[in-house]
Amino acid sequence: MITNMEKQAQAYEIMANNKDLNLKATELRLGLPGSESPEREVVVHGSAIKILVAGAKRGFSDAINGGYGVGLVKNGGQETDVLVTPKPALLEKKTQVSDKLNGQSSSPAPKQQVVGWPPIRSFRKNTMAVSHTKNEEKDDPKIGSGCLYVKVSMDGAPYLRKVDLEIYSCYLDLSSALEKMFSCFTIGQYGSHEVRTRDGLSETRLMDLLHGSEYVLTYEDKDGDWMLVGDVPWDMFIASCKRLRIMKSSDAIGLAPRAREKSRNCTEPNNE
Amino acid sequence: MNPHRKRAKTVDRVDSADSAAVSSESTQMRPFPSKPLSVDRVNSVESSDSSRMRPFKDKILLVDRVDSVESSESSRTSQFAGKVSGFDRVDSVEARVDSAGSTRMSRFPDEVLERVLALVDSHKDRSAVSLVCKEWYNAERWSRRHVFIGNCYSVSPEIVAARFPRIRSVTLKGKPRFSDFNLVPEDWGADVQPWLSVFSTAYPFLEELRLKRMAVTDESLEFLSKKFHGFKALSLLSCDGFSTDGLKAIATHCKNLTELDIQENGIDDLGGHWLSCFPDSLTSLEILNFASLNSEVSFDALEKLVSRCKSLRVLKVNRNISLDQLQKLLSHCPQLMELGTGTFMQELISGPVTEFKNMFSNCRNLITLSGLWDATPLYLPVIYPACARLTFLNLSYATLRSDELANLLSHCKSLRRLWLLDTVGDKGLEAVGSCCPLLEELRVFPADPFDQEILLGVTESGFVSVSRGCPKLRYVLYFCRQMTNAAVATIAQNCPDFTHFRLCIMNPGQPDYLTKEPMDEAFGAIVKTCTKLQRLAISGLLTDRTFEYIGKYAKNLETLSVAFAGSSDLGMEYVLQGCQKLRKLEIRDCPFGNAALLSGLTKYESMRSLWMSACNVTMNACRVLAKERPRLNVEVMRDEEGGDDSQANKVYVYRTVAGPRKDAPPFVITL
Q: What is the pLDDT of residue B15?
A: 42
Task: State what percent of residues in chain B have pLDDT above 70.
Answer: 81
Chain B residues near residue A74 by CB distance under 8 angstroms: 453
Q: What is the pLDDT of residue A262?
A: 43
Q: Tell me which of A74 and A179 has the higher pLDDT.
A: A179
The interface residues of chain B toward chain A in range 569-608, judged by CB-CB distance below 8 A, are 569, 577, 588-595, 598-603
The interface residues of chain A toward chain B in range 123-162, judged by CB-CB distance below 8 A, are 123-125, 127-128, 131-132, 134-135, 140, 142-143, 149, 159-160, 162
Q: What is the pLDDT of residue B582?
A: 97
Helices and strands, number each (H, E), in chain B? 20, 23
Q: Tell me which of B306 and A199 has the higher pLDDT.
A: B306
Query: Per-residue pLDDT for B67 more than 60?
Result: no
The interface residues of chain B toward chain A in range 543-562, judged by CB-CB distance below 8 A, are 543, 561
Cα B271 vs. chain centroid, distance in angstroms?
29
Report the gap between the CA of A95 and the closest CA in chain B (Å): 15
Q: What is the pLDDT of residue A60?
A: 37
> Measured at the alpha carbon of residue B377, what is the angle toward residues B373 and B383, in degrees to the nearest 5?
70
Where is mean pLDDT largest: B32-41, B100-109, B263-272, B306-315? B306-315
Please state, in angstroms and as integers, the Cα–Cα distance from residue B399 to each residue in B404, B427, B555, B650, following that order: 10, 14, 39, 36
Among B234, B295, B225, B307, which Cα is nearest to B267's? B295
Question: What is the per-residue pLDDT across B325-351, written as a single tens digit (0 to 9) for each?
Answer: 999 999 999 999 999 999 998 766 555
Instruction: Give the other-Cβ count within 10 Å of A70's Cβ.
Output: 13
Chain B interface disruption, residue of A4, A6, A21, most B CBs within 10 A: A21
Question: What is the per-residue pLDDT across A99-126, written as a single tens digit (0 to 9) for each?
Answer: 333 333 344 444 456 888 999 998 888 8
The answer to whether B410 and B467 are in contact (CB under 8 A) is no
Question: Could you give the angle at which helices B544-553 and B520-529 cross, rounded to 10 degrees?
Answer: 0
How many angstroms separate the CA atoms of B248 and B606, rounded? Answer: 41
Q: What is the pLDDT of residue B254?
A: 96
How many angstroms separate the CA atoms of B296 and B291, rounded? Answer: 11
Say whether B585 sits in a helix, a strand or coil: strand
Query: Per-residue pLDDT for B190 more than 60?
Result: yes
Q: What is the pLDDT of residue A189?
A: 36
Q: What is the pLDDT of residue B358?
A: 86
- Nearest chain B Cα to A71, which residue? B453
- Cβ–Cβ contact B370 with A under 8 A: no
Q: What is the pLDDT of residue B375?
A: 87
Sign of CA dihedral B461, B440, B564, A57: negative
Q: Report the mean per-residue pLDDT for chain A.
A: 56
Calculate mean pLDDT across residues B226-244. Answer: 96
Q: What is the pLDDT of residue A198?
A: 44
Say whether B502 sits in a helix, a strand or coil: strand
The interface residues of chain A toward chain B in range 55-114, judged by CB-CB distance below 8 A, are 55-60, 71-72, 74, 87-90, 105, 109-111, 113-114
Sign of CA dihedral A149, A150, A154, A157: positive
Q: Tell me which of A149 and B490 has the higher pLDDT.
A: B490
Query: Per-residue pLDDT for B24 more than 60?
Result: no
Q: What is the pLDDT of residue B181?
A: 93
Q: What is the pLDDT of residue B355?
A: 76
ipTM value of the model?
0.78
Residues pairing with B477 in the sheet: B443, B502
How many angstroms separate the CA atoms of B32 and B405, rounded? Answer: 59
Chain A residues near residue B507 by CB distance under 8 angstroms: 87, 109, 111
Q: What is the pLDDT of residue A112?
A: 55
- Which DSSP symbol is given to B56? P
Hey, are the CB atoms on A28 and B510 less than 8 Å from each other? no
Chain B interface disruption, residue of A12, A101, A128, A168, most B CBs within 10 A: A128
Chain B residues near residue A33 by CB distance under 8 angstroms: none
SS3 for B420-487, per residue?
Answer: EEHHHHHHHHHHHHHHCCCCCEEEEECCCCCCCCCCCCCCHHHHHHHHHHCCCCCEEEEEECCCCHHH
Q: Tell me which of A245 and B533 has the higher pLDDT.
A: B533
Among B192, B166, B321, B200, which Cα is nearest to B265's? B192
Report the gap between the CA of B447 and the closest CA in chain A (Å): 7
Of the ranges B30-34, B178-182, B529-533, which one carries the lowest mean pLDDT score?
A: B30-34
- What does pTM read for this prediction? 0.67
> Measured at the alpha carbon of residue B88, what is the angle toward residues B86 and B93, in degrees to the nearest 5?
140
Query: Per-residue pLDDT for B496 more than 90?
Result: yes
Cα dihedral B149/B155/B159/B165 (nearest 10): 0
The answer to whether B436 and B412 are in contact (CB under 8 A) is yes
Within 8 A by CB and 6+ apart from B351, the residues are none
Please state, in angstroms and as integers, the Cα–Cα distance from residue B8 to each residue in B30, B162, B578, following that order: 16, 22, 16
- Cβ–Cβ contact B639 with A under 8 A: yes
- Which DSSP symbol is given to B278? S
Question: What is the per-residue pLDDT across B103-155, written as a single tens digit (0 to 9) for each?
Answer: 445 566 777 888 888 888 888 899 899 999 998 898 899 889 999 999 999 99
Report the gap between the CA of A120 and the closest CA in chain B (Å): 7
Q: Tell me which of B641 and B184 has the higher pLDDT.
A: B184
**Minimal Cβ distance to A59: which of B448, B567, B589:** B589
Chain A residues near residue B182 by CB distance under 8 angstroms: 115-116, 122
pLDDT band at A227 (very low <50, low <70, confident <90, very high): confident
Q: Tell me which of B1 and B247 has the higher pLDDT.
A: B247
Hey, are the CB atoms on A27 and B568 less than 8 Å from each other? yes
How many angstroms separate the CA atoms of B380 and B376, rounded? Answer: 6
Q: Tell me which of B141 and A253 has the higher pLDDT.
A: B141
Q: What is the pLDDT of residue A233?
A: 84
Task: State what percent of residues in chain B have pLDDT above 90.
Answer: 69
Query: Per-residue pLDDT for A138 more than 50?
Result: no
The interface residues of chain A toward chain B in range 235-254, judged by CB-CB distance below 8 A, are none
Question: What is the per-residue pLDDT across B364-375, written as a single tens digit (0 to 9) for each?
Answer: 999 999 999 988
Q: Tell me which of A53 and B312 has the higher pLDDT.
A: B312
How many angstroms separate the CA atoms of A91 and A85, rounded? Answer: 9
Among B399, B13, B516, B147, which Cα is nearest to A142's? B399
Query: Per-residue pLDDT for B34 more than 60?
Result: no
How many angstroms separate the CA atoms of B613 and A180, rounded? Answer: 31
Query: Per-residue pLDDT for B475 more than 50?
Result: yes
Hey, are the CB atoms on B452 and A113 less than 8 Å from each other? yes
How many angstroms separate the CA atoms of B285 and B312, rounded? Answer: 6
- Nearest chain A Cα to B580, which residue? A4
Within 13 Å, how many C-alpha atoms sit on residue B375's CB side?
Answer: 27
**Minimal Cβ distance to B399: which of A22, A28, A131:** A131
Q: What is the pLDDT of residue B300?
A: 96
How many angstroms separate the CA atoms of A221 and B186, rounded? Answer: 32
Say whether A53 sits in a helix, a strand or coil: coil
Q: What is the pLDDT of residue A257?
A: 44
Chain B residues near residue A116 by CB distance under 8 angstroms: 178, 181-183, 588
Report the gap between the CA of A72 and the closest CA in chain B (Å): 8
Query: Per-residue pLDDT for A66 more than 50?
Result: no
Report the gap between the CA of A202 and the closest CA in chain B (Å): 28
Please state, in angstroms and as integers, the Cα–Cα distance from residue A51 to each residue in A85, B357, B510, following that order: 15, 56, 11
pLDDT band at A94 (very low <50, low <70, confident <90, very high): very low
- Which DSSP symbol is given to B42? B
**Minimal Cβ distance to A55: which of B599, B601, B614:** B614
Q: What is the pLDDT of residue A10?
A: 58
Say whether B262 sits in a helix, a strand or coil: strand
How many angstroms separate the CA atoms of B594 and B599, rounded? Answer: 8
**Minimal Cβ distance to B616: which of A8, A11, A54:** A54
Calculate mean pLDDT across residues B219-240. Answer: 96
Q: Report the mean per-residue pLDDT for chain B.
A: 84
Of the ranges A117-126, A148-157, B220-229, B612-621, which one carries the lowest mean pLDDT score?
A: A148-157
The answer to whether B118 and B144 are in contact (CB under 8 A) is no
Calculate mean pLDDT across residues B257-268. Answer: 92
Query: Per-residue pLDDT for A86 more than 70?
Result: no
Phi-psi region of B653 (alpha: psi -120 to 50; beta: other; left: phi over 0): beta
pLDDT band at B543 (very low <50, low <70, confident <90, very high): very high
Query: Per-residue pLDDT for A224 more than 90?
Result: no
Between strands A48-49 and B500-505, the pairing is: unpaired
Query: What's the maximum distance between 2 C-alpha atoms anywhere in chain B?
Result: 85
Report residue B43: phi and psi, to 5°: -80, -45
Burial, B141: exposed, middle or buried (Cβ in 10 Å; 0-12, 13-18, 19+)? Answer: buried
Report the gap between the CA of B318 and the closest CA in chain A (Å): 12
- Cβ–Cβ contact A5 with B under 8 A: no
**Position B308, amino acid:** R
Q: What is the DSSP string of B545-556?
A: HHHHHHHHH-TT
Question: What is the per-residue pLDDT across B402-460, written as a single tens digit (0 to 9) for each?
Answer: 999 999 999 999 999 999 999 999 999 999 999 999 999 999 999 988 876 566 789 99
Chain B interface disruption, residue of A53, A79, A167, A181, most B CBs within 10 A: A53
Q: Tell me which of A69 and B671 has the higher pLDDT.
A: B671
Q: What is the pLDDT of residue A4?
A: 55
Chain B residues near residue A10 by CB distance under 8 angstroms: 601-602
**Which helix (H) or strand (E) is A221 found in, with range?**
strand A215-221
Chain B residues near residue A123 by CB distance under 8 angstroms: 264-265, 292
Hey, are the CB atoms on A149 and B451 less than 8 Å from each other? yes
Query: Per-residue pLDDT for B259 more than 80?
Result: yes
Please state, in angstroms and as integers, the Cα–Cα distance from residue A260 to each residue in A143, A154, A256, following that order: 38, 18, 6
Chains A, B: CB pairs < 8 Å: 210
Instruction: Give the other-Cβ count within 10 Å of A161's Cβ.
Output: 21
Hey, are the CB atoms on A120 and B449 less than 8 Å from each other? yes
- Cβ–Cβ contact B403 with A under 8 A: no
Report residue B669: phi and psi, to 5°: -110, 120
Q: What is the pLDDT of residue B166?
A: 93
**Minimal Cβ distance to B628: which of A14, A58, A71:** A14
Q: What is the pLDDT of residue B117?
A: 86
Where is mean pLDDT largest: A18-22, A65-69, B185-189, B575-579? B575-579
Query: Per-residue pLDDT for A76 more than 80?
Result: no
Q: What is the pLDDT of residue B450?
A: 80
Please state, in angstroms and as integers, the Cα–Cα distance from residue B368 to each residue in B137, B316, B390, B419, following that order: 39, 10, 6, 11
The answer to whether B87 and B134 are in contact (CB under 8 A) is yes
pLDDT band at A8 (very low <50, low <70, confident <90, very high): low
Burial, B497: exposed, middle or buried (Cβ in 10 Å; 0-12, 13-18, 19+)? Answer: middle
Question: What is the per-residue pLDDT across B617-639, written as a single tens digit (0 to 9) for each?
Answer: 999 999 999 999 999 999 999 87
